[in-house]
Structure 1
Amino acid sequence: MDLSTILKPEAVKVISAASSKKRLLQDFGDVAASAYGLNASSIVDALQERESLGPTGVGHGVAIPHARNNQLDSVVGAFILLEKPVDFNAVDRQPVDIAFALFAPEAAGVEHLKALALVSRTLRESTICAKLRANHDPATLYTILTENQKSQAA
């Protein structure tokens, strides 16, 4: 599994300003609807329900919100780079400007965990995060996210 198998280029967005964590989750619902044909409100509800269990802000300006949804057959993702960071109740209390959401089928077990681990490993790399923050073109961001996987596999 690599990021190109779960992330479509059209699911990568740059947003100038999300006013809050809730607004960012709504933006993910919109991206999931346009890129994957999912119901935006059910995605937002699932993400908010998951956030109520504990924040998915993992630190260093990165969040990995994730949720299960019965509209899916496989794990898919969406990436948003925020030009203005938002408070996400992250573990290090730093605002978030890099967010990668994962949406998994209700029955996905190992596949969901592998995708979460892959995204976490990728966004733990400070060089990748620096490249993402330095670019505001969605096509370039998609390339940065997916090329790392290909170079590691070679």
Structure 2
Amino acid sequence: MEMSMILKPEAVRVLSAASSKKRLLHELGDLAEAAYGIKQLGAVEALQERESLGPTGVGHGVALPHARIDGIDEVVGVFVLLDKPVDFDSVDRQPVDLVFALFAPRDAGVEHLKALALVSRTLRDPSVCAKLRSNSDPATLYTIVTEAQAVQAA
């Protein structure tokens, strides 16, 4: 699986207005609807439901919210860089500024897990995170995220 299979360039955004975790989840839902046609309300509710099981802030300023939803037939993602980090109940109690949300079909099995592992591996790399944080152009962010995997594989 390649990052470019789950992330479209138009699913990458820089946000300056996400003032809370709840607001951020709504922004992720808006972006999922704009990029993939996923119903915003369904996306937000699914993300909130997953967060109620345990926060998806994985530490070092990174969050990987994910949810299974009806009405899609493949795993897709959205990525946002936040101008101002927000509290995300992360394991290290640090606010997040790099957020990669995944949406998978309700019956997705191993593909959902493969996508989550790929995103996690990519955003665990301190050099990738540093590059992302030093750029504010969505096209550049997309390139960094999708090319990081190729560099790691080399």
How much is the aligned-residue C-alpha RMSD, in angstroms?
0.8
| Residue of structure 2 equivalent to 1:19 | 19
Distance in 1 of aligned mates of 2:102 and 2:18:
19
| Residue of structure 2 equivalent to 1:137 | 137
TM-score, structure 1 as length reference: 0.98
Q: Secondary structure at the match of 2:102?
A: strand
Displacement, 1:140? 0.1
Distance in 2 of aligned mates of 1:79 and 1:139:
11
| Residue of structure 1 equivalent to 2:46 | 46
| Residue of structure 2 equivalent to 1:103 | 103
| Residue of structure 2 equivalent to 1:116 | 116
Q: How many residues align?
A: 154
Distance in 2 of aligned mates of 1:151 and 1:56:
26
Q: Secondary structure at the match of 2:92?
A: coil
Distance in 1 of aligned mates of 2:71 and 2:96:
28
Distance in 2 of aligned mates of 1:148 and 1:123:
9
TM-score, structure 2 as length reference: 0.98
Unaligned runs of 5+ in 2: none
Distance in 2 of aligned mates of 1:94 and 1:136:
21
Unaligned runs of 5+ in 1: none
Displacement, 1:71? 1.1
Please give the per-residue CA displacement for 1:37-65, whole angstroms capped at 9, x wherever unaligned.
Answer: 11000000000000000000000000000
Q: Which amino acid aligns with 1:14?
A: V
